[in-house]
């Protein structure tokens, strides 16, 4: 197997491993815990499902960490196609990763707020519930910002695939469609 195929398989494997926990951490967990416009119900869900939120946090940390390796593998794969586009793709992905990591801090803050720690006794329950709700909503908003910035990397990625000759061009055009769909949804 030649070097390009080996690098492409590594990039694909890393992308797959990074993506496995994403639906659970980014979709399932927030949908189970957040009750729109109801801070008390959201806080109660967090209290009742603390381990679910911790598992979701772990999934998000896994995904963000793995994407660092994904971007390095993709850069190595595509730098011979066009180093400028490969660098742009890498930078756009790397810019979004800290946003995803920051979003996890908000979930940790929500866990802390509902923990019942002694130093929180200056707040009443309604205030703590509201803080937990705000932190969970900030998590979602930070993810949204990360998605907006992150969606931009599909443009140079699509160009690289189209120009590569070792990946079917149709996949490059599909990446353009994905980027457009993400931007329309957001």
Contact partners, residue 80, CB within 8 Å, separation at least 6 = none
DSSP secondary structure letters along 146-160: HHHHHHTTHHHHHHH
Show the DSSP H helices in 20-80 as ranges: 22-23, 29-33, 39-48, 50-78
Instruction: For residue 162, tell me if it sits in a domain.
Output: no
The DSSP letter of residue 165 is: S
pTM: 0.86
Is 111 part of any domain? yes
Within-domain flag for 176: no
85 belongs to a structural domain: yes
Is 12 contained in some domain? yes
Q: The domain containing residue 13 runs over which residues?
A: 3-152
What's the structural domain count of the chain? 1
pLDDT digits (tens, 9 = 90+) for 7-39: 989 999 999 999 999 999 999 999 999 999 999
Calpha distance 75→167 (Å, rounded): 15
pLDDT band at 165 (very low <50, low <70, confident <90, very high): confident
Give the distance, in angstroms, between the CA of residue 120 and the centroid of all CA atoms in the same chain.
30
């Amino acid at each position: 197997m030649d070097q390009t195929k080996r690098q492409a398989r590594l990039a694909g494997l890393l992308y797959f491993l990074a993506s496995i926990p994403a639906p659970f951490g980014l979709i399932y967990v927030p949908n189970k815990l957040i009750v729109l416009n109801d801070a008390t119900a959201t806080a109660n869900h967090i209290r009742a499902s603390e381990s679910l939120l911790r598992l979701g946090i772990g999934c998000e940390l896994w995904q963000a960490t793995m994407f660092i390796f994904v971007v390095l593998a993709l850069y190595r794969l595509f730098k011979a196609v066009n180093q400028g586009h490969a660098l742009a793709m890498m930078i756009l992905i790397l810019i979004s990763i800290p946003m995803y990591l920051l979003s996890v801090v908000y979930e940790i803050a929500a866990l802390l707020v509902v923990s019942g720690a002694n130093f929180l006794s200056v707040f009443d329950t309604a205030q703590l519930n509201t803080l937990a709700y705000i932190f969970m909503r900030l998590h979602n908003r930070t993810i949204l910002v990360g998605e907006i910035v992150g969606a931009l990397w599909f443009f140079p990625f699509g160009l690289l695939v189209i120009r590569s000759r070792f990946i079917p061009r149709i996949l490059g055009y599909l990446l353009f469609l994905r980027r457009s769909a993400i931007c329309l949804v957001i």
